[in-house]
Amino acid sequence: MNLRAVLAAVAVYTGLAGAVTVASVYYATHSGLFLLVTGAVGLLLVVLGAADSSAVSTTNPAGGMGEVSTEEMGLQDLPVGPTLGTQNTYLVLVSYGVGLFLWSGVAVAFFRSGLH
């Protein structure tokens, strides 16, 4: 994977999108509970992104577990690779999830006295 694409995804999704989302939640609600829920959603996205990056074995049509070739499934003409251009889905999920979690923690720590 290209290091420049990884750094761009981390900067955009962790830095910018995560901060904008948490700031929107804070200014809309001024609630610590919603910030904690936002952090929990961030952790969920990290877990889903990590699960998306791991290899998943599929069920064999013959009844056993194992790898199934694309010819057996009739998928030989489908494009293989990331669907988001140069960024993989798991990279976007993990970066955005980390951003939500970290920025939620920063907001709770910084605005602790003003939360309801």
pLDDT tens per residue across span 45-64: 999 988 866 655 455 555 55
CB 90 within 8 A of CB 6: no
Residue 25 in 3-state DSSP?
Answer: helix
Find the mean pLDDT for residues 24-49.
94
Please report which residue ranges of 54-88 form alpha helices under DSSP H: 70-73
**Cα(101)–Cα(44) distance, rounded to whole angstroms?**
10
Amino acid at 22: V
Kind of pairing, strands 65-66 and 58-59? antiparallel
Residue 82 has pLDDT above 50, yes or no: no
pLDDT tens per residue across span 87-100: 688 899 999 999 99
Q: How confident is the model at residue 14 (pLDDT cuts 50, 70, 90)?
A: very high
